[in-house]
Structure 1
Amino acid sequence: MRTKIRTKLIGVTSIILCISLLLSGFFTYYYVTRIIREQSIQDSLIKLSQNALQLRRIQEQTREIAEYIIVDSEIQNLIQQETPLDMEESYFHKLDVQERLKKFTALNDYIMNIVIIRSDGEVFSNKSGYAEYFSSYQEQPWFRQMRVPDSGMRFSVSHESYFVNRLHPAISYVVPYKRIGEEEPAAVNTLIIDIKYNQLVSTMEQSLGNYDRIMLLNRLGQTLYDSDKGEIPAQALQLPEDGQELPEWEENADYLNIYNRSMLEDWVQVAVISKDKLFAKLKSILVFYVLILTFSLILTLSLMLPFVSRMIRPLSRMVSAMRRVSEGDLSSQVSIKSGDELEILGDGFNRMVKQLQEHVQLSVENEEAKRDMQVKLLMAQINPHFIYNTLNSVIYLSHANRSSEAVDITRSLIGLLQESIHRGDHAFFSTLGEEIRIANRYIDIQAIRYPERFQVIWEIEEGLEQAQMPKMILQPIIENALFHGICSEYRTELGYIRISAQRADDSMELTIADNGKGMQPEQLQRLASMQGKQKSSSENQGIGLANIRERIHYHYGKHYDLTIASGPGQGTRVTVRIPLQPAKL
């Protein structure tokens, strides 16, 4: 199936436009995605740094408070007595330590409890009546983990601690220490500072709205804080392993993991960002871009269609003109005034068609002249052939001392020639009635030469006398019937020639049948192959028939023809079929 050039142009342009817009959209999307990701990472790093700054401040303040307490000689002297104290003295010492420790909790509202456990298990704190409870710290898992040698940890994991007469979550800062100047290795005291866990939570939750999940881990990977609400699958979280070099951020197919390790004791913040949420705005931008792409394509096609149609219109006119030329209309011309190559092409087409028209006209004229010469040549063959046979008859009669009959033949010949010789269109065509008159004159001539040897029977359908037909059709066939059929040998039987003319649909069939000696199959085949060929004098029988066949083919085409049916001793039947309409010259 052929595709119009306009469709091809629009299709190719649409494809190029779509590919260009898609590529630009892809690179824009990729570029914007990268910018958004990098910007989000930078923003997250800044926010995590801000969190880390606050957490580090809490860590540093807690450590400083612990150092103040440890180096406070008055507190240490009250805790560590050289001589045993009675119960009352011990009570007042503890009360004095309690008052001094309360100063630190009063100045730092994030501190819940400050506890000192002396090496012998005696407990001092900022609260009275909780000695036994604080002593139980030593049996809790979080505390035992802090006493592991070389752990390097000071801050515990989250646990519960009494504050304002009820349990609250807390993180404890634990420092084992010896009294300054103390040389006894076993005499190790333990300072415990309970920090409000909510203080840490409030710091972490300041930036929670920016992330899908945020965590705080200690150096062992234990969770100090986790905002997880079950929305993030476990495999999406990539936690650092112990000793692993930690990057600033990592990503997988669905999430971004951002890390911060700028706090004391290798605390690590892990923030998880869903790419779906991160690029949610970008998706709306992408939808908007698709709409722009569709609108641009429709707008481009709307603007292109008139332009392409205007550009293709000259080509369409030229194609239509070419089709008309291919159908034989050589008068087709195109008028293209585009001022470009199409105008040059149109002018070239017009010149080509004009030259082709002139060439065809010249060829037609040459062909008509050639065919006219051929017809004249064919007619020139008929007349000498007929005259040759007639003069033979005159010579025969003269030798037989039948001069009066020779004179009659000569007169008939003169009359026949007067009727058969015409100029113009009448040189090639006549009516059936005229052909019958010519044939009768010829029959009169031959009846003188061959008296009582043959009889001619006419059977002409009424109304066919005015039918047009090529000239000199009947006479040569009758001549062949006489000389090569009936009179070619002596016979006692009367010969007859039956000539009929009748309609057959839109044609006329002329039949000339004789009861002569007929022809052998070889002779019949030789006559059928004589068309267009000049034969020797021994084959004069075929000259007239071949001449008639060629003229019928020339005037009417090969659909109309002359046919011969014959057999030894069966006579010969010649049928001529021509149309009942004027023929071309």
Structure 2
Amino acid sequence: MKHGIKYCIMSRIIAIMLVVLIAFTLIASFALQSIQNTNIEKRGLYDAQRNQLQIENTLDEIYNLSSLFCLNPEIRSFLLTKEYRTPSQKTLAINHLINQLDENLLLDQYIHSFCIVDKNGTGYWNQCPYDNYFLSWFYSYAVDEGSLEEYAGFTNDYVFPPTQQHRAETQLLSHISNVCEVRDSKLSTIGQIIINLDLSALMRDVFDQNSLFSQIGILDEKGNILYLSSGNQQEFLKIADSLTLNFEKTKTGYYFVNTTSNSHWKIISFLSDDQVTQTTEFPFLAVMITVIFLTLCLIVIFISPILMNISKQIIKLEHAIDLVAAGNLNVSVELQGTRELNNIAEGFNRMIAKTKQYMKEALENQKEKQKVSFELLLAKINPHFIYNTLNSVIYLARQNRNQDVIKLTSAFIYLLQDSIHLEKNSLFELTETEVKVIEKYITIQKYRYADQFSFRCVFDPELKDTYIPKNILQPLIENAIIHGICPLERPGHIELNMKREDHSIRILIMDDGAGMEQKKADQLISCTQSEYAPKKSSKMRALGLRNIAEKLQFVYHKNYEFTVTSDPSFGTVIRIVLPIRTKEMTQENKFISNDPSGSSAL
């Protein structure tokens, strides 16, 4: 299916713009990739450093709290008291200490509990001071049955079972501080303070403020995992061991590494490519879609009117071309718009004007050519006829038949005047005049071929004012005498029959002479009716028939009939059917036009 020019131009412009925009998008994406990496690095480092500061501040609070506990005079006095007079006195002392610490110390939410351990290894847990349950669990899972003095500092993370105050398992991280005393210039340990941290509560604030990272892990100074927000611990340790820089790009995302200054913990934050895509793709695609949409709108607003105008002008030009193709040359085009459209319109109008001028000149040249060609056809017949007539005059002169010479010469002069006179319509002659020419011609041939043939003419009076091409009958009568009658050893008969039939003239020339085979007659017709290209022949019959055929072809193109029927036993019949032509038609059309439609109007 063929589309209009407006559709073709608009579709190609939109296609080109889309290709350019897509190419621009690809180039921009590659160019912005490095910028995006830089921005991600800056933002990631910023958020990772903020996490580091938050954890350092939390650790500082824990260190300060531990120092506060270690320097607390009541705790030190309780740990230095070796014996109480009664158990109830010790119980009262423990309750007073725990209650006073709970009331006076503002414990953050991430602090789960604390425990005071004396020199003998007895623990006093603030949630259950008289039960050694916590310390037993702590020795088993936090310090692996080791000495508390050896684990001064942070332990590994461990899971503590539910309690009355915490009804779910809790992931804890404990900090151990030694309470010391200087005696006799020597430092000795009199007990320990254990502060238990709720890792989930501790890191909750970090995650709430840092939605950028998809994974956060914390390693102690020995490389043990203190905390991992998600993922497999073994895989995380392998990746952590491979990281050497503060910022590294891997196949799956970006890693940021920070180390706390107060505890030498390594904080590893991971930002996955999927997370990067979620945070950056939508704004980028939204911008590109907006740019494409605005570009298409600009095309429609600014280019569409221009295309509409151009397409209208081209459609107008196409309509003019169709009219010219249909044969209407009285067409002119006026295109409005750009200079190029004006040039096209002027060029088209000049082309039509030149075409009209060329066709006019060609028609005039064709008419002149036809006139000259027809005069040449007449010239072909005249020498042939003159030759035969002069032979007859010479013959009579030798016989001293002066009256016959006068009669023959008078007839010859009549024929000669008729054939060479120059009138306005020399292509045609009255049918009645042509019959008189034949009668004069028969008079001449009677002297040449005395007593060898008889002649009869049947002329329809309705043909009196009609016209036929000049000099088409005489050569056919001559062929009937020479080639039909003369070869016989007996006299022959020739008849000319002219009759009107509707809008046609029927001409029959019949003789009972020698005749010929029909195959040969058909060959003569086939030869003589070729288009203006006469074939050479030594036969006078073929020469005469060819001249007649050329003349009829020239005058009537295909709107006529010319047949020859012959047989050696009965002679030859030549049949010609021509359209009726009156004097008015002859005056209006001087020359014939060989148009392919078969028109015979001169």
TM-score by length of 1: 0.74
2:241 partner amino acid = G
Distance 1:4 1:166, change over 3 A: closer
Cα pair 1:486 1:517 within 8 Å, conserved: yes
Aligned to 2:239, what secondary structure does the other structure show? coil
- Residue 516 in 1 paired to residue 513 in 2? yes
Aligned to 2:388, what secondary structure does the other structure show? helix
Task: Select between 426-435 and 261-270 the one with higher mean Cα deviation.
Answer: 261-270
Distance 1:544 1:197, change over 3 A: closer
In the alignment, the residues of structure 2 paired with residue 477 and residue 396 of structure 1 have an alpha-carbon distance, to the nearest angstrom, of 23
Cα pair 2:156 2:226 within 8 Å, conserved: no
Matching of residues 81-96 of structure 1 within 5 Å: 88=85
In the alignment, the residues of structure 2 paired with residue 442 and residue 543 of structure 1 have an alpha-carbon distance, to the nearest angstrom, of 19
In the alignment, the residues of structure 1 paired with residue 484 and residue 445 of structure 2 have an alpha-carbon distance, to the nearest angstrom, of 14
Matching of residues 267-282 of structure 1 within 5 Å: 268=267, 270=269, 279=278
Matching of residues 430-509 of structure 1 within 5 Å: 430-456=429-455, 466-487=465-486, 489-492=487-490, 494-497=492-495, 499=497
In the alignment, the residues of structure 2 paired with residue 338 and residue 201 of structure 1 have an alpha-carbon distance, to the nearest angstrom, of 73
In the alignment, the residues of structure 1 paired with residue 576 and residue 66 of structure 2 have an alpha-carbon distance, to the nearest angstrom, of 141
Match of 1:173 in 2: 174
Aligned to 1:192, what secondary structure does the other structure show? strand
Q: CA deviation at 1:479?
A: 0.9
Match of 1:407 in 2: 406
In the alignment, the residues of structure 2 paired with residue 239 and residue 306 of structure 1 have an alpha-carbon distance, to the nearest angstrom, of 67
Cα pair 1:249 1:257 within 8 Å, conserved: yes
Deviations 1:438-483 (A, max 9, x none): 2233234334544543344556778555554311111110111101
Match of 1:556 in 2: 556
Matching of residues 247-396 of structure 1 within 5 Å: 248=247, 262=260, 264=263, 266=265, 268=267, 270=269, 279=278, 283=282, 286=285, 290=289, 293-294=292-293, 296-298=295-297, 300-311=299-310, 332-335=331-334, 340-344=339-343, 346-351=345-350, 353-396=352-395
TM-score by length of 2: 0.72
Deviations 1:225-268 (A, max 9, x none): 74x7xxxx989x97873423275576878x87776654735253
In the alignment, the residues of structure 2 paired with residue 142 and residue 458 of structure 1 have an alpha-carbon distance, to the nearest angstrom, of 151
Cα pair 2:431 2:464 within 8 Å, conserved: yes
Q: CA deviation at 1:122?
A: 3.0
Aligned to 2:107, what secondary structure does the other structure show? coil
Task: Select between 8-17 and 166-175 the one with higher mean Cα deviation.
Answer: 166-175
Cα pair 2:393 2:405 within 8 Å, conserved: yes
Matching of residues 216-255 of structure 1 within 5 Å: 217-219=218-220, 222=225, 224=227, 226=229, 241-245=239-243, 248=247
Q: CA deviation at 1:429?
A: 0.7
Match of 2:60 in 1: 60
Aligned to 1:173, what secondary structure does the other structure show? strand
Deviations 1:38-91 (A, max 9, x none): 76775565455444433322322323444565678996686478xxx6663788
In the alignment, the residues of structure 1 paired with residue 555 and residue 323 of structure 2 have an alpha-carbon distance, to the nearest angstrom, of 28
Cα pair 1:432 1:469 within 8 Å, conserved: yes
In the alignment, the residues of structure 2 paired with residue 203 and residue 36 of structure 1 have an alpha-carbon distance, to the nearest angstrom, of 27
Distance 1:393 1:440, change over 3 A: same
Cα pair 1:456 1:499 within 8 Å, conserved: no
Distance 1:392 1:148, change over 3 A: farther
In the alignment, the residues of structure 1 paired with residue 366 and residue 144 of structure 2 have an alpha-carbon distance, to the nearest angstrom, of 125
Q: CA deviation at 1:313?
A: 5.7
Cα pair 1:146 1:156 within 8 Å, conserved: no
Distance 1:178 1:461, change over 3 A: farther
Aligned to 2:144, what secondary structure does the other structure show? helix
Cα pair 1:98 1:124 within 8 Å, conserved: no
The root-mean-square deviation of aligned C-alpha atoms, in Å, is: 5.2
Q: CA deviation at 1:180?
A: 6.9
Identity of aligned residues (%): 22
Distance 1:498 1:370, change over 3 A: closer
2:442 partner amino acid = I
2:479 partner amino acid = N
Match of 1:115 in 2: 115
Deviations 1:300-349 (A, max 9, x none): 23543432344466666556556655666555554567673554555455
Aligned to 2:160, what secondary structure does the other structure show? strand
Distance 1:252 1:474, change over 3 A: same
Task: Select between 439-448 and 111-120 the one with higher mean Cα deviation.
Answer: 111-120
Distance 1:319 1:197, change over 3 A: closer
Distance 1:239 1:466, change over 3 A: farther
In the alignment, the residues of structure 1 paired with residue 237 and residue 71 of structure 2 have an alpha-carbon distance, to the nearest angstrom, of 39
In the alignment, the residues of structure 2 paired with residue 89 and residue 458 of structure 1 have an alpha-carbon distance, to the nearest angstrom, of 180
Task: Select between 193-202 and 52-61 the one with higher mean Cα deviation.
Answer: 193-202
In the alignment, the residues of structure 2 paired with residue 525 and residue 128 of structure 1 have an alpha-carbon distance, to the nearest angstrom, of 141
Deviations 1:1-57 (A, max 9, x none): 776655443333222333344455666788889888876775565455444433322
In the alignment, the residues of structure 2 paired with residue 145 and residue 273 of structure 1 have an alpha-carbon distance, to the nearest angstrom, of 40
1:194 partner amino acid = N
In the alignment, the residues of structure 2 paired with residue 303 and residue 517 of structure 1 have an alpha-carbon distance, to the nearest angstrom, of 91
Q: CA deviation at 1:486?
A: 0.7
Runs of at least 5 residues in structure 2 that lack an aligned partner in the other structure: 586-591, 594-601
In the alignment, the residues of structure 1 paired with residue 49 and residue 37 of structure 2 have an alpha-carbon distance, to the nearest angstrom, of 18
Task: Select between 374-383 and 507-516 the one with higher mean Cα deviation.
Answer: 507-516
Cα pair 1:518 1:569 within 8 Å, conserved: yes
In the alignment, the residues of structure 2 paired with residue 303 and residue 352 of structure 1 have an alpha-carbon distance, to the nearest angstrom, of 34
Q: CA deviation at 1:548?
A: 1.7
Cα pair 1:485 1:571 within 8 Å, conserved: yes
Cα pair 2:49 2:258 within 8 Å, conserved: yes
Cα pair 1:452 1:494 within 8 Å, conserved: no
Cα pair 2:181 2:190 within 8 Å, conserved: no
In the alignment, the residues of structure 2 paired with residue 466 and residue 528 of structure 1 have an alpha-carbon distance, to the nearest angstrom, of 33
Distance 1:373 1:125, change over 3 A: closer
Deviations 1:496-522 (A, max 9, x none): 44646575x976554433232235778
Aligned to 2:555, what secondary structure does the other structure show? helix
In the alignment, the residues of structure 2 paired with residue 189 and residue 414 of structure 1 have an alpha-carbon distance, to the nearest angstrom, of 169
Task: Select between 213-222 and 402-411 the one with higher mean Cα deviation.
Answer: 213-222
Aligned to 2:132, what secondary structure does the other structure show? helix
Aligned to 1:366, what secondary structure does the other structure show? helix
Matching of residues 190-201 of structure 1 within 5 Å: 191-196=193-198, 199-200=201-202
Q: CA deviation at 1:430?
A: 2.3
Matching of residues 138-149 of structure 1 within 5 Å: 138-144=138-144
In the alignment, the residues of structure 1 paired with residue 147 and residue 578 of structure 2 have an alpha-carbon distance, to the nearest angstrom, of 133
Distance 1:567 1:285, change over 3 A: same
